[in-house]
Structure 1
Amino acid sequence: MTPQSEGAFPPDARVCSAPMGEETEVPVNTEMRGETWRVRISTSGGDVLGAGILLAADAVLTCAHVIPAGPCDPDPRTPGPRAPGSRDPHAPASPAAPAGEVLVELVGVPGARAVPARVADGCWVPELEDSRGDVALLTLAEPQDVRHAAPLHRVAPTRGRTVWMCGFPSTRELKDGVWFRATLAGPSGPRGEWVQMFPVTPEETVRPGFSGAAVTDAETHRVLGMVVSRYDDRSSAAPADQRLHLSYMIPIETVVRHLPVIARYVSGERGNGLPSVPRSAARDRDFARWLARWFAGEEGTRRMEAIVIKKGEAVRSATLSRAVALADRELPADAPDPAGATASPPPHLPPPHLPPHLPPQRPDPRPPPRANGTSRRPPPPYETEDDVLPPLGSVDLALDVSGETVARVAERVADRLGLRAADGEGSAVGRLGAARSVPLTIVAEGVDYAVAPLALVEFTGLLAARGARLLLVFRNPESQSLELALRMADPAKDDIAARLDRVREGIDNIARRERTAFEKTALIAPVPPVPQRAAALRLDLTALRKHPEPGGGRFLTDLGAFERTVQSALMRIEEVIGLAEARIARRNELRGRLEAFFALLAARSLEEERAAAPLYRTAHNLLYQAPCELTEAERAVERFADAVRHHTHRPRGGDA
């Protein structure tokens, strides 16, 4: 986008002109004053250009179109969220990064003053011909307190999530910012790079002064994205109060895709945990087409699928990894890990499938520029056929679950969904069990090589019941967990006998997991008591099989209720196992800490070793008894550590 398109919106994008008293804007107040990362960007003359997000002491993220490109540009005093497809046709196709300075001010920090800033070297990604990109990183002339930096986090931008954003309209009374509310709707914009937001009221559609503003999750207070665009429907014949008023954001992961250098400021594990494959790797095109259809959720696809990729089937495995990479918001299919990446222009992607309200644009035959203005040869397109290209963002989480526990997988799912534990208590299994919905698309590879494959399949069934779409990948076609997954995924096999058999298998699995829970909870304390439901559930199943109306409406109602009871019982036992495993891991960590401090003490004199020996024996005994009283053991290890610190900071006998 160019400054011209911001100062003069095209016919379908307008700035609301109602008097301020008639708008339902939310003035800045104490409720959100903790957002110290909010940045106002202005010209040297004090005219507001837009907003930004403080990422580090000297780094601010914003939209590229917020920064005026030079003195020859149209008046930049009212730049704001651009309308989709509103690129200035007379603007240079590949402008170099602006060299001028802007003023940056932390409006959320009392007493903060404006400081000069300019585009960081190699961190300028202007709007491309198809409207992708439009991100920039600024370097501040004077570093700020790093404690004010934003908590960026990788979270799937799921539908219905409530968000806040604060921008800086040109109205004098709102120069210090105004809050708008919205709910996330779903992928939109160029090749799905954006996420559409429904304003809570039409007046809360973003406007000039909001570009670059942080989009903050109302529940977790983490920054999920950045405001980029708006849409006002002026051509519709519908009444004004029924016309579309939409806002758009760029998710943080998409920003990382264009500016890999900011990955260091983003918390949370990447959504794609499958191995990368080179672009030239052989792939199964029929399989790739099926994956693209399933990721897109096309008609005729099922919410849960179980497939087999045997060990040694390198082509099918590479096809899956590549499809997931193409659907990932953060990384191109063959990009290096962000940890080792330097700032560089994004790859040249194929033209997107634009929503109906976005006008089609001709692809630019020229190669995209480098950040310093020089050109480079574009890499070949990802695919030559659209039917093997999955939509961007169509996979929320992809994991290799071989060797993983249910608790660990649940932690990854909960983190991706943005569910946080309160004060460190509770497990991810419990948080997901309490969640009303889990609107994620998940790929799990190596399910039959997990620590407890049957328990993991049952757990994925619980996620599916809460709205998740799941692709379960197995390696052994004869595995028992695959048979269970196929029966869960195939509605044609879900007759009454099959449902009763599935319930019986679920109860048998609960019995096995109860034994596992007893084994683990015997090692550690405190832990919740182990639920003992398997025996009672078996009796209930026997009674259900003798129902007086088998196959009738009442029977089906009772069967459905019993299925939910079995699922809840499994959820509770998995929660206990997860808590026990976390505490066992803490115990093992304390054992290592104890031995590390003992090694420090070993270099001291014999007298000093004897003085600290009772403390070491106490901590050792607590850590190696069963059950290990974790709280007492932690205190004992810390007492020994304090004693070692006291001795190791004293001079040796001969040096006194």
Structure 2
Amino acid sequence: MTRTGERVVASRLRTPRWIARIETPDGRVLGAGVLLAPDRVLTAAHVVGPGHRYAVRLVGVPGLDAVPATVRPEEHVPQREDTFGDRSGDLALLRLATALPAEHTTRLYRLAAPHGPVSMYGFPDGDDGGRWHGATLVAARGRDSQVQLRPLTPGELAAPGFSGGGVVDHATDQVIGIVLSVDEGPGSAFSYMSPTETILSHLPQVAAWTDGAEAVDPRLRTGTGPAAGRLDVPFATELASWFRGEGWPVLVTVVPAPGDRAWTLQRAVTLADRELRTHRNTSAVSQDPPETVPPAGAHDLALDVKGLTAAEVMDRIAERLGIRDDPRPERLGSLRLPLAAVLVAVDQAAEPEALLALLERLAREGARLLLAFRGPGEPATRAAELLVHRPLRARWARLHAELSCVTDELGPALEDRRHRVLPAPGSRALLDRAEGGVRRSRMLRAWLAHTPDRDREPARAGLLFTFEEAVGRRRRRLEQAIGLLDARLRRREELLGRVGAEWPLCRQRAAAHGDRVMAAYRLYEQAVSLLRQTPCDIERAETAVERFVGFCSTNAPEEEGAS
């Protein structure tokens, strides 16, 4: 399977055999579902409920009758909202009274892919046969890691009849989750899906019908009860900050094993995984400081690399990201999202040098890496210098260079051009914002000259990123403003050339008509004067040039009065 989705395009020409239409006994369509086993259908909890009877029909298999179905209370996870208003749950497993043919079933697939193109099948109102809709996975949402789906067109927003329908990833042609809900109200732009690993956290029995690599190495999992270990609060806070995407994207740390620090890392990795984060273990840490609890879905892979080669590590990464045919590190730059990986025992890998080279490549491609070494020493020091301190210093240096460019080059260039030509009507606000950006950049450069070293530490890299974004935005605005004024200066030179070329010809024609020479000269002088005035008003000058050229094109004396 290539990453261009040829098989998905072909499969969208037909109704999937595994798609289930869920109905009331009298035939009213309630939603969709996924046939995981001959007698089990996965759907959204708001579509069905315990104590009711339903009918399940495979619309993609002609000739099959609807099958009675019910849902048990222990296999119904209703939608809930936490104190922040985030939704969770909304999952259910239907049990069929009569088994359907096994060849029509499908399996869920674990995939670290909260971005990229997908398709979903459902039953919008008035279309009981169902249809495919296209969408793009945008980002995880909330503490239950439900994922936003942006429709390819407004008409492909998932209607209620899509609830419970399977979501097929184009890169792998696998079912990676089910549709849950749609934004309510006019102008809604998103639907939501529950990815496979979130489904497994609520309904672990679904693992029997699931493929794909688990995110967390079994050696890095842990219970979170009080007897499992003692929480290292400062370290847990540092880890949670990294999992939230704060600070420098590469964190190099030393974690001896066993010990409280190792247990704290395992706790963070477990809680940050969609599949392993459950109501049970989140309840167990409810008394811990909230700043020590990472968000769910915060990493793609957590791997103990002791004894592994660099190629084996790359294979595990590729498997999690859905790369099947060519798992080379240089391909990661074109993936749908940056990789977030936790690698433990880096100094005990089979090929430390090769692994470090791979990690450097991944970091350049935008990966977020949490690298734990089992002991202090040269390997950890070298990794920190190569992946953290050296690139961080280079980024600060580039920021200073960008500030110098804005304040010492682009700012004076804009000022010079504003002295030479007036802005076009409607563009003055842009130029004023550009000049304001120069003033703010001078203030920022002065502030940075007195910034304490602690503000340049990796944990405070968010400050650097904010400055980079602001200075980049100011530079682009300045370049745009300078470009607009340069275009007006070029127009000024064109008009000067036009007037200069027209005057000798006009003088010869006007000389044949006596006093027309003086009239032409006055118009010529007026146009040249406006063009050479600083700052030049291009609109006024252009009007004067057109008046002069129009006068010169009039040959007969009687035409002078008309003009």
Please list, as runs of the form range in 1=range in 2, the aligned pairs for 1:446-457 lying within 5 A after superposition: 446-457=345-356
1:263 Cα offset (Å): 0.8
- Residue 370 of structure 2 aligns to which amino acid in structure 1? L
The one of 65, 73, 76 equivalent to 1:124 is 76
Partner of 1:64, secondary structure, is: coil
- Residue 204 of structure 1 aligns to which amino acid in structure 2? E
Report the counterpart of residue 40 of structure 1 in structure 2.
21
CA distance 1:223–1:383, change in 2 (3 Å): farther
Deviations along 1:436-486, whole A, 9 cap, x unmatched? 565221000001111101111111222222221001111121143651443
> Computing the radius of gyration over CA atoms, which structure comes out larger, 1 or 2?
2
- Residue 404 of structure 1 aligns to which amino acid in structure 2? L
Report the counterpart of residue 57 of structure 1 in structure 2.
38
Corresponding position: 1:259 with 2:203: yes
Please list, as runs of the form range in 1=range in 2, the aligned pairs for 1:431-450 lying within 5 A after superposition: 432=331, 435-436=334-335, 439-450=338-349
1:232 Cα offset (Å): 4.5
TM-score, with structure 1 as normaliser? 0.55
Partner of 1:198, secondary structure, is: strand
Please list, as runs of the form range in 1=range in 2, the aligned pairs for 1:180-579 lying within 5 A after superposition: 180-189=133-142, 191-232=143-184, 234=186, 243-273=187-217, 274-280=220-226, 281-298=229-246, 301-312=247-258, 314-332=259-277, 346-347=279-280, 349=282, 379-421=283-325, 428-429=327-328, 432=331, 435-436=334-335, 439-480=338-379, 482-491=381-390
- Residue 315 of structure 1 aligns to which amino acid in structure 2? D
CA distance 1:471–1:441, change in 2 (3 Å): same
CA distance 1:101–1:231, change in 2 (3 Å): same
Preserved contact between residue 487 and residue 494 of structure 1 (Cα < 8 Å): no
1:386 Cα offset (Å): 2.0
Q: Which moved more, 1:452-461 or 1:40-49?
A: 452-461
Preserved contact between residue 41 and residue 93 of structure 2 (Cα < 8 Å): yes
Preserved contact between residue 396 and residue 440 of structure 1 (Cα < 8 Å): yes
Partner of 1:158, secondary structure, is: coil
CA distance 1:491–1:108, change in 2 (3 Å): farther
- Residue 151 of structure 2 aligns to which amino acid in structure 1? P
Report the counterpart of residue 644 of structure 1 in structure 2.
none
Alignment partners' CA distance in 2, 1:99 and 1:270: 34
Matched-pair identity in %: 41
CA distance 1:263–1:289, change in 2 (3 Å): same
1:332 Cα offset (Å): 2.9
Deviations along 1:368-403, whole A, 9 cap, x unmatched? xxxxxxxxxxx5453432211111111111000101
Alignment partners' CA distance in 1, 2:39 and 2:62: 18
Please list, as runs of the form range in 1=range in 2, the aligned pairs for 1:71-150 lying within 5 A after superposition: 98-120=50-72, 122-130=74-82, 131-150=87-106
- Residue 36 of structure 2 aligns to which amino acid in structure 1? L
CA distance 1:33–1:387, change in 2 (3 Å): same
Partner of 1:410, secondary structure, is: helix
Report the counterpart of residue 124 of structure 2 in structure 1.
169
CA distance 1:430–1:320, change in 2 (3 Å): closer
- Residue 198 of structure 1 aligns to which amino acid in structure 2? R
CA distance 1:110–1:482, change in 2 (3 Å): farther
- Residue 291 of structure 2 aligns to which amino acid in structure 1? D
Alignment partners' CA distance in 2, 1:244 and 1:45: 31
CA distance 1:432–1:264, change in 2 (3 Å): farther
Alignment partners' CA distance in 2, 1:35 and 1:331: 30
1:32 Cα offset (Å): 4.4
Alignment partners' CA distance in 2, 1:479 and 1:56: 53
Alignment partners' CA distance in 2, 1:431 and 1:31: 31
Preserved contact between residue 160 and residue 181 of structure 2 (Cα < 8 Å): no
Deviations along 1:338-374, whole A, 9 cap, x unmatched? xxxxxxxx5485xxxxxxxxxxxxxxxxxxxxxxxxx
1:206 Cα offset (Å): 1.1
CA distance 1:34–1:452, change in 2 (3 Å): farther
CA distance 1:181–1:492, change in 2 (3 Å): closer
1:261 Cα offset (Å): 0.6
Deviations along 1:303-344, whole A, 9 cap, x unmatched? 1121111244x11111111011111100137xxxxxxxxxxx
Alignment partners' CA distance in 2, 1:304 and 1:30: 40
1:193 Cα offset (Å): 2.6
1:230 Cα offset (Å): 1.1
CA distance 1:32–1:441, change in 2 (3 Å): farther
Preserved contact between residue 21 and residue 29 of structure 2 (Cα < 8 Å): yes
Partner of 2:90, secondary structure, is: strand
- Residue 207 of structure 2 aligns to which amino acid in structure 1? A
Alignment partners' CA distance in 1, 2:336 and 2:195: 21
Alignment partners' CA distance in 1, 2:294 and 2:261: 16
Preserved contact between residue 232 and residue 246 of structure 1 (Cα < 8 Å): no
Alignment partners' CA distance in 2, 1:112 and 1:411: 42
1:246 Cα offset (Å): 0.8
Which has the bigger relative contact order, CA under 8 A and spacing at least 6? 1
CA distance 1:136–1:207, change in 2 (3 Å): same
Partner of 1:228, secondary structure, is: strand
Partner of 2:190, secondary structure, is: strand
Deviations along 1:30-84, whole A, 9 cap, x unmatched? 63437321111000110001000011111110011101x4xxxxxxxxxxxxxxx
Deviations along 1:9-49, whole A, 9 cap, x unmatched? xxxxxxxxxxxxxxxxxxx9963437321111000110001
Alignment partners' CA distance in 2, 1:381 and 1:156: 25
Alignment partners' CA distance in 2, 1:51 and 1:170: 12
Alignment partners' CA distance in 2, 1:482 and 1:144: 59
1:269 Cα offset (Å): 1.9
Report the counterpart of residue 178 of structure 1 in structure 2.
131
Deviations along 1:114-137, whole A, 9 cap, x unmatched? 111111463111122433111111
CA distance 1:289–1:398, change in 2 (3 Å): same
- Residue 106 of structure 1 aligns to which amino acid in structure 2? L
Partner of 2:328, secondary structure, is: helix
Name structure 2 gaps, 5 residues minimum: 1-8, 396-563
- Residue 125 of structure 1 aligns to which amino acid in structure 2? V
CA distance 1:431–1:145, change in 2 (3 Å): farther
Alignment partners' CA distance in 2, 1:136 and 1:180: 23
- Residue 213 of structure 2 aligns to which amino acid in structure 1? E
Partner of 1:464, secondary structure, is: helix
Partner of 2:357, secondary structure, is: helix
Alignment partners' CA distance in 2, 1:473 and 1:30: 43
Partner of 1:297, secondary structure, is: coil
Preserved contact between residue 419 and residue 431 of structure 1 (Cα < 8 Å): no
CA distance 1:436–1:206, change in 2 (3 Å): closer
Corresponding position: 1:152 with 2:111: no
CA distance 1:249–1:436, change in 2 (3 Å): closer
TM-score, with structure 2 as normaliser? 0.63
Partner of 1:53, secondary structure, is: strand
Name structure 1 gaps, 5 residues minimum: 1-27, 70-97, 235-242, 334-345, 350-378, 497-656
